[in-house]
Amino acid sequence: PLCHDLILNLTQDGIKLLFDACNQRLKVMQNNHIASVTMYAPPGRAAILEQPKHLPSERPLSAPPTTTLQI
Distances (CA, A) of 56 to 14, 35, 43: 10, 10, 28
Q: 8-26 pLDDT, tens per residue?
A: 998 888 889 999 988 889 9
Q: Is the per-residue pLDDT at 71 higher than 80?
A: no
pLDDT at 60 over 60: no
Dihedral in degrees, nearest 10, Cα atoms 26, 61, 12, 39: 50
- pTM value is 0.49
Domain-wise residue ranges, the chain: 1-35+64-71
**pLDDT, tens only, 32-46:** 877 776 666 778 877
